[in-house]
Amino acid sequence: MISEKIILGIDPGTTIMGFGIISVIKGKMEMVSIHELILKKYPNHETKLKYIFDKTLALIDEYHPDEVALEAPFYGKNVQSMLKLGRAQGVAMAASLYRNIPITEYSPKKIKMAITGNGNASKEQVAGMLQNLLKLKEFPTKYLDASDGLAVAVCHHFNSGTIADTKSYTGWESFLKQNPGRVK
């Protein structure tokens, strides 16, 4: 029996909130969906939080993820912005927990490192690498916040032991010996 794992990745935000959903079967990732929630049009922070909760629940109910991964708010100089981001993340967490879905949090640097190998990569570099990793002809959204949500899901997959990360390699020769199908 082939087991499929669905991972919902969330990049919390109070202006744009990104969501990415991947499916993993036998260690192979495929993008299922990518969404962004545009929040700048709402009149106040409380209304934005309600829409974050509602959208997160709607995505959970539609795609039935097995796990949810969130980007942790980064520490900035503006305390008010940090509080608002923390609330947005908390609401997304609450929606996930309301549906009894396990959640994991990743720092922005860890996500960038998992996707690009560089913890200081730009959003454009992350999107480009996701396009390559997921074999997308073009990136399906213009908002990099949505690609950040997708990056969180992919990072979670890379860190959850669902790919061949239990193998150890001492160099290219070792890698090629253990992965003969990867050579063209």
* Burial of 92 (C-beta count, 10 Å sphere; 0-12/13-18/19+): buried
Is 165 known to sit in a ligand binding site? no
Contact 153, 96 (CB under 8 A): no
Residue whose tokens read 């959003």: 123
Encoded tokens for 179: 């992965």
Reply yes or no on whether 71 is catalytic: yes
Contact 150, 129 (CB under 8 A): no
Is 105 known to sit in a ligand binding site? no
Reply yes or no on whether 11 is catalytic: yes
Catalytic residue among 36, 67, 145, 148: 145
Catalytic residue among 11, 36, 67, 148: 11
Catalytic residue among 30, 36, 54, 71: 71
**Residues in CB range of 59: below 8 A, 6 or more apart:** 8, 19, 21, 33, 35, 65
Is 54 known to sit in a ligand binding site? no
Annotated binding residues for Mg(2+): 11, 71, 145
Active site residues: 11, 71, 145
